Amino acid sequence: MDFMLTEEQIMAQEMVRNLAREKLYPTLKEWDRKHQPHPDVLPLLAENGVLGINIPVRYGGQGFDYITLALVCEELERIDASFRVVMSVHAGLNSLALLQWGTEEQKQRFLVPQARGEKIAGYGLTEADAGSDPVNLRTTARREGDVYILNGEKMWISLASLADNFIVFAKTDPQSQPRYKGITAFMITKDMKGVSTHDEKGKLGVRAGSTGSIVMENVEVPVENRIGEEGEGFYIAMSCLDNGRYTVGAGAVGCIRACLEDSVKYAKERHTFGVPIADHQLIKQKIAYMQQWYDAARLLIFKAGWLKNQGKRNTRETGVAKWYATDMSVKAALEAVQLYGAYGFSDEYDVERYLRNAKGAVIYEGSSEIQQLLQADYALGNRVDKPLRCELVPYNEDEWQSE
């Protein structure tokens, strides 16, 4: 296994790093304090081709691989989680689902403008009673001729007020046994009659981003907007989460790095008892742990990314990478705040924001508790992944780069 990044991957990483540092970071605190989405994120990422970074060129993307997607997410969350969330939802949960499950017509109609950044994409699975238990969703879809009539509400939807297109999941057969076979996936657009979105305020973290709800009241969705077949929605949702968890885990790697880099800088500048606090053993211990967590989390993400590039099933590997990286990002942020002392308790420095943001990632995209149960079942032999109903799309440089 080759751990060296290619020149192209490094160039993409440095491009996103510079964008985030130079164009987004200078005004980040203003929008974080306002609890409002940073207005420059979507235009900047679209203009520079980041929103379609790992979508084939023939579908409007840049044709990079899954490792590059992880590097992009790491760099964005190195500055703020709200920036990485854009990639998790737009690219991970929506565009990659279209690449895997969409018809050629759907790819041309939805994926191409999304990859180009002309349309912004969202994802609607979570409901008031359907978080860690997605099969319990209440949204319904009733077929009437050439349309489905959708009714329901989705909660905790990232980019709710900003996205143009949403993949949503609804019950087409509420009586189905087992229950998951009654779920179907659809692509809806914000301009459809009966669709409304609302933003939530007062979040602990990810304040410079949009999080809200989608309400659907008798929304007529054409049959050609159905993703996959009736009853395949649960499989589609879970495959989407494999991509979403990958991007969340990669972002958490960036959060750990942010805590590490900021702590190293501060430890060298801050003096107590006549010496830099970097000379104190307990400070060194904190920094050593952050370095360990960063290295291990990054390797787990790269392993999952390698499997994705091969087109191989990666549910277990992606889950453990997301679980470990997000848990360690919380620990790293706690250590960074402690290292900064009273200053860490103030938003004068970034570490308190890292902590607020990190806490969200151990909840969404499959909580740490859910990940523990899944990994235990894999280890005990209680859980074995079945063959995929729709094959993953492996990365092939020649094919992905060709028009």
DSSP conformational letter for 311: T
* DSSP secondary structure letters along 176-207: -SSGGGGEEEEEEETTSTTEEEEE----SS-T
> Closest Cα partner for 281 from 151, 106, 273?
273
Rounded CA-CA distance 176/231 in Å is: 9
Instruction: Tally Cβ neighbours within 10 Å of residue 179.
Output: 16
> Closest Cα partner for 228 from 97, 127, 111, 96?
97
Residue 167: phi and psi, rounded to 5, are -85, 120
For residue 308, which amino acid is it? K
Catalytic residue IDs: 365
Instruction: Tally Cβ neighbours within 10 Å of residue 347.
Output: 12
Structural element, H or E, at residue 314? none
Q: How many CA atoms does the CB half-sphere of 19 hold within 13 Å?
A: 24
What the block records as the tokens of 266 is: 């501060």
Rounded CA-CA distance 67/83 in Å is: 18
* DSSP secondary structure letters along 249-267: HHHHHHHHHHHHHHHHHHH
Residue 387: phi and psi, rounded to 5, are -55, 145
Asked if 267 contacts 259 with a C-beta cutoff of 8 angstroms, the reply is: no
